[in-house]
Amino acid sequence: MKQIFIIGLLLIVMLVAGCSGTVDSTGTEDEDLQMSVYVDGEVGTQDNGDETMTVAKFETSMGTFELELFTESMPITTGNFIKLANEKYFDGTRFHRVIASFMIQGGDPQSADTSKRSRWGTGGPGYSIKDEHVAGAELTNARGTISMANSGPQSGGSQFFINVVDNTFLDWDKQPSSSKHPVFGKVVSGMDVVDAISTTPVGRGDQPVEDVIVNSVVIEER
């Protein structure tokens, strides 16, 4: 089972910076599974006229943080995330990969099971979603943004990462364009919690020594 990596330029940047790390995720648990695309025209939409926003509230073992989801500009990606959150898909999972001064990664359903620790980073929902590559000032892998982890084009599923520094070299429109990780939201409160998670001690495979558990992800309209 292959893991999903932020590929290409990441390796170069990490070598230059004198550190190492990757962002892993797998869209399916069955390599023979036919790729499908989840699109819901209603889930995750909002009316700007009402000045509302869709918020994902993360309750973790290290504290609470909230993300605004970019539902208008990224309807496929946010629609999928909202669907999974409403199904309690993320509840009980872990931030299974943490790299200081880079990112924290979660969303693998297998990370809810400690007996599958060796496979953390390879799980997914059993389907892949279409990449949304949209230009925009907010849609860049800047500090505090949440982005899709994947193994290449059209391979995102449920795994995501939150940038703890500016990682704009991971944007879809940067050259070389081998890394394509769509941004679909940003932290609006609790960035101190995200930073704390990012500096937790890690062991083999960048897995936290002490599990960082996602107790719940709740979607709210505000």
- Catalytic residue, chosen from 3, 46, 80, 105, is 105
Kindly name the residue from 3, 46, 110, 150 that is annotated as catalytic. 150
Strands 103-106 and 160-163: antiparallel
Q: Active-site residue among 58, 102, 160, 184? A: 102
21 by Cβ neighbours in 10 Å (0-12 / 13-18 / 19+) ranks as: buried
The answer to whether residue 86 is catalytic is no
Active site annotation includes 181? yes
What is d(CA 137, CA 164) in angstroms, rounded to the nearest whole number? 18
Annotated active-site residue in 67, 84, 139, 170: 170
Say whether 175 is catalytic: no
Whether 133 sits among the annotated catalytic residues: the reply is: no
Name the residue type at position 27. Answer: G
Q: Is 97 a catalytic residue?
A: yes
- Answer yes or no: 15 catalytic: no
The whole-angstrom separation of Cα 222 and Cα 216 is: 18
Beta pairing partners, 54? 69, 221
Q: Is 102 a catalytic residue?
A: yes
Beta-bridge mates of residue 58: 65, 217
By CB atoms closer than 10 A (0-12, 13-18, 19+), residue 15 is exposed
Exactly one of 5, 90, 161, 184 is catalytic; which is it? 161
Supply the residues annotated as catalytic.
Answer: 97, 102, 105, 150, 161, 170, 181
